[in-house]
Structure 1
Amino acid sequence: MPTVTQLYLAPAYAIAGNEVAATLKVRSTVSFTAQTLTVAVRDAFGHNLDFIGVHNVTITPAGYTLTTPSKTFYPGEYTIFGAYQLGGVWYSLPSVLMIVGEAHGGGSGPTEGKSVVWAEHFEHPLSRDRWNSAGTSAYQYYTHNPNDDKLDWIHADKVTVANNIVTFTAVPGNETLENGKKAWNTGLITTEGTLEAFEVRANDYVETLVQMPAELGAWPALWTWRDGDNEVDNFEYHPDNPNLLEFTNHVRFGQDYYTNAQAVAPLVWVTIGTLYGATSVDWYINGTRVFSDGTGVPASWTAFLILNLSVCAGAFHPTPIPPGPLVFRADYIQVWR
């Protein structure tokens, strides 16, 4: 009997009346042909509102991605889950909540009037032309930054790509930091110091889909940096505050501690978007704006992107428990302009 693992399931959010497709990524311990593979949907009353699936599909250890035809939903909360049929028996995979919000006229989303100018879907090994995984000028010693309450020591081999997912892993290392603490080997990627040298600009919208870690001491983040500053924290997360994300504009200070127990939790995939507006930096969770700082960034603002897994040194959040590992994953980063 094959064991099927659900790697990814979306959407977590939709707008009532707007067509939306579901995406399901699965893999199996052994190759087999499922009679049906679909994304099942149940409303608050248990009614079956499944997406249309596929038939006689082969699921392999390398994985299979299903994108369903689109459909619309009424406002409300729905439970969605992957499901497959084998030998006439249905098997259900882990479920997530899909929230369908009311449609509001007269407003505009963060991508309205913009087009995608840069995207990374981690379909191939990291390109050195696009990503620098050796270190960052945001760290005092390039590979490590103990004065920021971090045990990090950046190692390129702690960032791996497989099945269209980038994985950051942290484990105890051999190095000793300048403050005498033992470092943890961990991963970081940045557009700084690359041939492409991509930078985000004022009024860009950046979106990422990430899976939050579960291990104490993990400190994942997507943030920006340039010339010793220009920092906007798209998000920071600490599993000891399992349902909280930190949003911070360090350029013209604005900050929020956003809490949502259904969207933000260990091992849950969540879409996080940031609009670097000239009058306000806005943050979006699963397509919904949840915070506007009202300060923004200068019209001339530019910065490099950094995605990484830091390791807490204990001043503000618990240190990790050896031997680990700490694990953080991301599905994509995309920029609209």
Structure 2
Amino acid sequence: MLSEHGVSVHRTPAPRPHAAHAPVLTADFASPAQWVAGRSWAYPDGGPVNPGDDKLDHLVADPSYSRTGTFRARRRPEGTWSTGLLTTEGSDEDFMVCVGDVVEARVRLPREVGAWPAIWTWRDGGQEIDVFEYHPDNPDLLELSNHVRTAHHYHHDPAVHPGALVDLRVEFGARSVTWWVNGAAAFSDGRGVGGHWRAHLVVNLSVSAGRYHPPPRPDVSEMSFEVPMLRVHRER
């Protein structure tokens, strides 16, 4: 079926969440063993810029942009933005999310138009599942996407708004990826990730360049979003 944005959407009833096992990853964003800052192979040549994806990002390794769990973006003189990104790819632990894993996160959404926060996965040029994406110009909407097997959902929720604290949970099932928002079932895609999927985690704050969402206003020079909690559970 088609969403209001003209994107193919698969919708099946979301099951109850499985009981959580002890986490195999509890994010310590200050840990260089868990996370690499300011570089991702999801960006051309690992970064620092990615204009082809409609981003004004200029990735920086400065710990004040990401290592505190507050992901920041600051305007640069030439018009790009210094942005915070952390990934498990290339870290000492090289952690990857696997089939059957459950990701839980708590995020505080940004307020500024042009901010583009996300938690997502990436490996070898793809394997992307978006735990969430958000754009404050669509204030009540979270974007939930499976790019591995092409399923998308635009989740409208009055509890979602700029500055809101939101709890997210995603089960990466072989036959269906399922999202919960603030404890309520939001989307089960009926597509899944297949039996052998695995991918690294990425957490970042991008900045929209204006093709799909408005860029920041000229009087805005800084923005941020927070990730107070991120963990991964594994059944086996």
| TM-score (norm. length: structure 1) | 0.62
Q: Deviations over 1:180-236 (max 9, x none)?
A: xx3111100010010000000011000100000000100000000000010001100
Q: Does 1:296 align with 2:200?
A: no
Deviation, structure 1 residue 160? 4.1
Q: How many pairs were matched up?
A: 216
Residue 216 of structure 1 contacts residue 240 of structure 1 at CA under 8 Å; is this kept in 2?
Answer: yes
Q: Does 1:140 align with 2:140?
A: no
Which range moves more in the overlay, 268-277 or 314-323? Answer: 314-323
Residue 121 of structure 1 contacts residue 332 of structure 1 at CA under 8 Å; is this kept in 2?
Answer: no
Q: Does 1:233 align with 2:130?
A: yes
- Counterpart of 1:270 (choices 166, 170, 173) is 166
Deviation, structure 1 residue 156? 1.9
Residue number in structure 1 paired with 2:121 = 224
Residue number in structure 2 paired with 1:93 = none
Q: What is the identity, as a one-letter code, of the residue corresponding to 1:154?
A: L
Q: Does 1:129 align with 2:33?
A: yes
Q: SS of 1:216's equivalent? A: coil
Q: SS of 1:187's equivalent? A: strand
Residues in 1 aligned to 2:107 and 2:26: alpha-carbon distance in whole angstroms: 15
The higher-RCO structure (CA 8 Å, 6+ apart) is 2
Residues in 1 aligned to 2:20 and 2:167: alpha-carbon distance in whole angstroms: 20
Answer 1 or 2: which has greater strand percent: 1
Residue 188 of structure 1 contacts residue 306 of structure 1 at CA under 8 Å; is this kept in 2?
Answer: yes
Residue number in structure 2 paired with 1:167 = 70
- Counterpart of 1:208 (choices 95, 105, 115) is 105
Q: Does 1:321 align with 2:225?
A: no
Identity %: 45
Residue 20 of structure 2 contacts residue 233 of structure 2 at CA under 8 Å; is this kept in 1?
Answer: no
Q: SS of 1:257's equivalent? A: strand
CA RMSD of aligned residues (A): 1.4
Residue number in structure 2 paired with 1:115 = 22
Q: SS of 1:147's equivalent? A: helix
Residue 121 of structure 1 contacts residue 331 of structure 1 at CA under 8 Å; is this kept in 2?
Answer: no
Q: What is the identity, as a one-letter code, of the residue corresponding to 1:147?
A: G
Residue 34 of structure 2 contacts residue 88 of structure 2 at CA under 8 Å; is this kept in 1?
Answer: yes
Residue 113 of structure 2 contacts residue 216 of structure 2 at CA under 8 Å; is this kept in 1?
Answer: yes
Residues in 2 aligned to 1:149 and 1:327: alpha-carbon distance in whole angstroms: 19
Deviation, structure 1 residue 324? 2.0
Q: SS of 2:52's equivalent? A: helix
**1:237-252 alignment runs, 5 A limit:** 237-252=134-149
Residues in 2 aligned to 1:113 and 1:138: alpha-carbon distance in whole angstroms: 30
**1:4-23 alignment runs, 5 A limit:** none
Residue 23 of structure 2 contacts residue 233 of structure 2 at CA under 8 Å; is this kept in 1?
Answer: yes
| TM-score (norm. length: structure 2) | 0.88
Unaligned runs of 5+ in 2: 1-14
Residues in 1 aligned to 2:175 and 2:41: alpha-carbon distance in whole angstroms: 27
Residues in 1 aligned to 2:16 and 2:206: alpha-carbon distance in whole angstroms: 35
Unaligned runs of 5+ in 1: 1-106, 176-181
Q: Deviations over 1:280-308 (max 9, x none)?
A: 00001112221000000011100000000
- Counterpart of 1:312 (choices 208, 211, 218) is 208
**Where in structure 1 do 4 or more consecutive aligned residues deviate above 4 Å?**
none
Deviation, structure 1 residue 153? 0.5
